Amino acid sequence: MTVILTIESTCDETSAAIINDQRQVLGSVVASQEKLHNRFRGVVPEIAARQHVQAILPVIELTLEKANLSIHDIDAVAVANTPGLAGSLLVGLCAAKSIALACDIPLIAINHLHAHVYACRLAAQQDVFPCVGFIVSGGHSNFYRCDDALTFQYLGGTIDDAAGEAFDKVAAMLGLGFPGGPAIGKVALTGDPKSFAYPRPFAKDKKHLKFSFSGLKTAVRYSLFGHAKPILDAASLSPQLIADVAASFQQAVVDCLIAKSLHALDLTKMSTLCVGGGVAANQVFRQQLTEAMKQYGATLWIAPPHLCTDNAVMGAIAIEKYNAGLFEELNLDIVAGLERL
């Protein structure tokens, strides 16, 4: 049986997993840096990279321990080398290269975005390809035509902020802390999603798969603090106003995501949608997308919430590369900004 160690350090989670060729997870660990970045209301790249250096070896050791394996039992090591924060990516890559060299095993490169889609394949426990892959995360809101597990073609995505970025920035305006997505989802439960008529950019334009969430952020800001005095003082906002703004903002984002998901299926004439990435953990999005796909008549796979946010388990896509003999030389580099491939 083939056993692969996967490493994920693209942003602010240090994670490792051990997966076998039956796509079973033998061990996995995610060390989140949330607490370190919370007071900055966003990820600080320098802090993230330094924390990965601290965490990477204990995380790998604990993963091996959980799987009851030694490093010498591993047949290949895989690492997400694109896209992400340069300093963060380098830590995972150096660890993976060291293991490949020391154990004389193949090195496999993982595209973090493709891995987010592959989380659906893992959860489905059946083939999900061909499909439209939709990554909706803190850094990306992208559609791909996925003819098989290793063939991804970029179809379109955000022209400014990603959906998760908008969640994080609006949460900061509302004084809700970081990461903003789960916090907004929670307070929105007691809010009225119809109380503010925020824009749904491009939602009615069926010709392309673009998103734009930057203006939506500005609309929220103006609705809270007006045009003349944009003083960001969340302490002056009532709990009901915060809940109403959160619910209205969340609904605006969800409407855009669902509209474009339908357009993507129309444009590609595909009948399966696979959704991954941190924002796909959002309960309102999951419920409404499930309903929309049922009405449309398409098959929907959404990664389970614990595989939506960053993790090394979704690096199981490395099994496909292993089977195809797609290995890297030890001079493999990171590519921080490679968003579309």
Q: Which residues bind ligand KG4 (CB under 6 A)?
A: 11, 137-139, 164, 167-168, 179-182, 185, 277-279, 281-282, 309-310
Residue 77 or 183: which CB sits closer to ligand KG4? 183
Binding partner of residue 27 among ligand KG4, Zn ion, none, CB under 5 to 8 Å per kind? none
Those residues with Cβ within 8 angstroms of residue 39's Cβ, 6 or more apart along the chain or in another chain? none
Residue 95 or 135: which CB sits closer to ligand KG4? 135
Report whether the peptide linkage leading into residue 83 is cis, meaning its omega lies within 30 degrees of zero: yes
CB of 47 to Zn ion, least distance (A): 18
Read off the DSSP letter of residue 256.
H
CB of 337 to Zn ion, least distance (A): 14
CB of 34 to Zn ion, least distance (A): 14
Q: What is the torsion angle, in degrees rounded to the nearest 10, for the CA atoms of residue 24, residue 135, residue 10 and residue 42? A: -130
Sign, CA dihedral 223-227-231-236, equals: negative
Binding partner of residue 201 among ligand KG4, Zn ion, none, CB under 5 to 8 Å per kind? none
CB of 89 to ligand KG4, least distance (A): 12
Report whether the peptide linkage leading into residue 193 is cis, meaning its omega lies within 30 degrees of zero: no
Please classify residue 296 by burial: count the beta carbons closer than 10 Å to its beta carbon, then call 0-12 exposed, 13-18 middle and 19+ buried.
middle
The encoded tokens of residue 101 equal 């060299």
Residue 9 or 309: which CB sits closer to ligand KG4? 309
Binding partner of residue 193 among Zn ion, ligand KG4, none, CB under 5 to 8 Å per kind? none
Sign, CA dihedral 166-174-84-318, equals: negative
CB of 111 to Zn ion, least distance (A): 11
Q: What is the torsion angle, in degrees rounded to the nearest 10, for the CA atoms of residue 37, residue 43, residue 44 and residue 45? A: 130
Q: Which residues in this chain contact Zn ion in the complex, by CB under 5 A?
A: 137, 310
| C-alpha to C-alpha distances, 6 to 81, 102, 160, 300, nearest whole angstrom | 11, 16, 31, 26
Binding partner of residue 164 among ligand KG4, Zn ion, none, CB under 5 to 8 Å per kind? ligand KG4
Secondary structure of 71-132 in HEC code, one letter for each residue:
HHHCCEEEEEEECCCHHHHHHHHHHHHHHHHHHCCCEEEEEHHHHHHHHHHHHHCCCCCCEE
Q: Coil, strand or helix: which one is 162?
A: coil
Binding partner of residue 55 among Zn ion, ligand KG4, none, CB under 5 to 8 Å per kind? none
Q: Coil, strand or helix: which one is 6?
A: strand
Binding partner of residue 179 among ligand KG4, Zn ion, none, CB under 5 to 8 Å per kind? ligand KG4
CB of 166 to Zn ion, least distance (A): 16
Residue 79 or 281: which CB sits closer to ligand KG4? 281
Residue 26 or 308: which CB sits closer to ligand KG4? 308
Residue 186 or 194: which CB sits closer to ligand KG4? 186
Residue 3 or 44: which CB sits closer to Zn ion? 44
CB of 196 to Zn ion, least distance (A): 29
Residue 135 or 292: which CB sits closer to ligand KG4? 135
Binding partner of residue 181 among ligand KG4, Zn ion, none, CB under 5 to 8 Å per kind? ligand KG4
CB of 314 to Zn ion, least distance (A): 9
CB of 162 to Zn ion, least distance (A): 10
Half-sphere CA count of 269, side-chain side, radius 13 A? 0
Contact predicate 145/132, CB 8 Å: yes
Residue 245 or 308: which CB sits closer to Zn ion? 308
Binding partner of residue 185 among ligand KG4, Zn ion, none, CB under 5 to 8 Å per kind? ligand KG4
Sign, CA dihedral 316-319-325-329, equals: positive
